[in-house]
Amino acid sequence: MGPEQLRGSAVGVSCDLRAFSSSDGNTLGATFRLGVTNDSWRALTPYRGDATLNHRVPTWEGAFGGPLVKQRLFYFGAAMGARNEQSRTLPYTRRSYAYGDAERKFEIKATWTPSTAQTLKAVYFRVDSSRTNVNAGTVMDVASLYDNASPESLTGVSYNAVVRQRWLFEAAYSRRRLTFSGSGSRDASLSGGTPIWDRSRSDARFNSPTGCAVCPGAEDARNNQDLSARLSFNLAVRLPGTTEILTGVDLFQESRATNTYQSGSGFRVRATTSIVSGEQVRPVFLPDRTTWIYWQPILQGSTGNDLRTSSAFVSDTWRPSSRVTVKAGLRFDLNDDRDSLRRPAVHDAAWSPRLSVAWDPSGQARWLLPAGWARYLTSITSTVADAASPGGRPATYVYDYLGPAVNADATKAPTSSSDALRILFDWFLGGQGVKRATRSSPSIPGVNVLMDPGLGPLDTREIMGALT
């Protein structure tokens, strides 16, 4: 059985004051639940060194709601807290460590119906997530672990109203905020902030975490917002059957701002191999071009990209009879995207038509023959928009290590990772440093990759036919 199997939980308290099914009911209701989990309630693998933690961890959740003004104003609130602790084992060194994650969720919602024809809703949702002893890639020591957090919030407002008979207006606004923080090393020194990768063990890492948690602009902020409005109505035309028109606009904007540091010091080293002794890992640096030094500076800080899509659409659903439904639509999208230095990346516009027909031969919904043609567009992603930008993205220069051999003699006491790095950087920086010849062509954002000025959204065309 795997280490995740046979997890158990015990319910401690469960209390219902009154059940309720929605946030706009006229009855006051609340509920609360408490549970307990324990890492020791799972099966272990036969892998040597696997262990569990005998910690009881509570999980709680509750909700409440009811009317502030009956038939008019309603509220709803909910909260949840969960924490998990688990023993994990590092490969190669077989060191056990405690991994943990915690999450708290909160939701507040209000619904106002000033009249039977109007409804206004507002909601705020927040999730606070944190993790302890996280690893990036395969790591061999606890020095490569770190703690991080990712708070996220969502705010939304929606309104709908029956403007006149058979005319329905809907509008909505939402805003999402998400930030990743704490990922990477909290040491920016050469000895403590340089991760070492063991080339003989598929680049397993030790000495320092990947990334930098204390460098300027290291937080990863990913935000978006959307504003939409639409109107649906029946149009009186001299055609058999019924027809329904839907038209609207949508304004979407997203952004990402981060400097993607690869280490605390700006360097990483790929060692020839390493010496593993119990829980200790020590690098082997050889001057035979099998040890490589990576310098990965961020040449320009990110100011955050800005991706915007403005859309307008109209569609018509025509039912000439109970057996036939015809749908036709047209959408217009305008993309205005700027990269992480706020330079123009993509600016274009495109039309997306679509047409479909569905036929019910029997008129009793036993069979349905749909067919259609459509064109779909997808705007470029944040990664593509920043592909040619140096803002917040590291360059990579690789050098051969040709200095004194470190830990090459197995008969001598091995040199620690921090002392080995001091020897390596004394040689590297004592000469030409980063100005010395590289072992391969460097990778420089904004130089190796350029953005095609004619790049537009992804285009997908569909022809569909079916029998259901």
CA distance 445 to 443: 7
User: pLDDT per position in the chain (468 positions), as tens?
Assistant: 333 333 333 334 444 444 444 555 677 888 888 877 766 666 665 555 556 666 667 788 899 999 989 889 999 999 999 888 888 999 999 999 999 999 999 999 999 999 989 999 999 999 999 999 999 999 999 999 999 999 999 999 999 999 877 889 999 999 999 999 999 999 999 999 999 999 999 999 999 999 999 999 999 999 999 999 999 988 766 677 788 899 999 999 999 999 999 999 999 999 999 999 989 999 999 999 999 999 999 999 999 999 999 999 999 998 888 889 999 999 999 999 999 999 998 888 889 999 999 998 887 778 889 999 999 888 888 888 888 899 999 999 999 999 999 999 988 899 999 999 999 999 999 988 999 999 999 999 988 777 776 666 677 889 998 887
Position of tokens 């509920």?
31
What is residue 39's predicted lDDT score, i.e. its pLDDT?
Answer: 63
> Exposure string (b/e) for 151-187, b if CB count within 10 Å is 16 or more?
ebbeebbbbebeeeeeeebbbbbbebebbbebbbbbb
CB atoms within 10 A of CB 66: 18
pTM score, two decimals? 0.84
Residue 42: name the closest of 102, 94, 13, 84 by CA: 84
Is the CB of residue 176 less than 8 Å from the CB of residue 203? Answer: no
CA distance 248 to 271: 59
CA distance 157 to 401: 59
Report DSSP letters for 347-398, one per residue: EEEEEEEEEEEEE-SSSSSS--EEEEEEEEEEPPPHHHHTTT--BT-B-BEE
Radius of gyration of the chain (CA): 30
What is residue 16's predicted lDDT score, i.e. its pLDDT?
Answer: 42
The size of the chain, in residues, is 468
3 state SS of 177: strand
Is the CB of residue 265 less than 8 Å from the CB of residue 195? Answer: no
Residue 259: name the closest of 295, 224, 212 by CA: 212
What is residue 51's predicted lDDT score, i.e. its pLDDT?
Answer: 62
3 state SS of 151: coil
CA distance 303 to 71: 48
What is residue 106's predicted lDDT score, i.e. its pLDDT?
Answer: 95
3 state SS of 20: coil
CB atoms within 10 A of CB 305: 25
Residue 158: name the closest of 137, 173, 139 by CA: 173
What is residue 45's predicted lDDT score, i.e. its pLDDT?
Answer: 59
Residue 197: name the closest of 98, 267, 133, 95 by CA: 267
3 has which bridge partners? none
What is residue 47's predicted lDDT score, i.e. its pLDDT?
Answer: 54
What CATH class has 51-465? mainly beta
Q: Dihedral sign for Cα 360, 362, 367, 371, please.
A: negative
Position of tokens 């006229």?
26
What does the block give as tokens for 171? 């509008």
What is residue 201's predicted lDDT score, i.e. its pLDDT?
Answer: 96
Q: Can you point out the beta strands (E) in 165-217?
A: 167-180, 196-198, 204-206
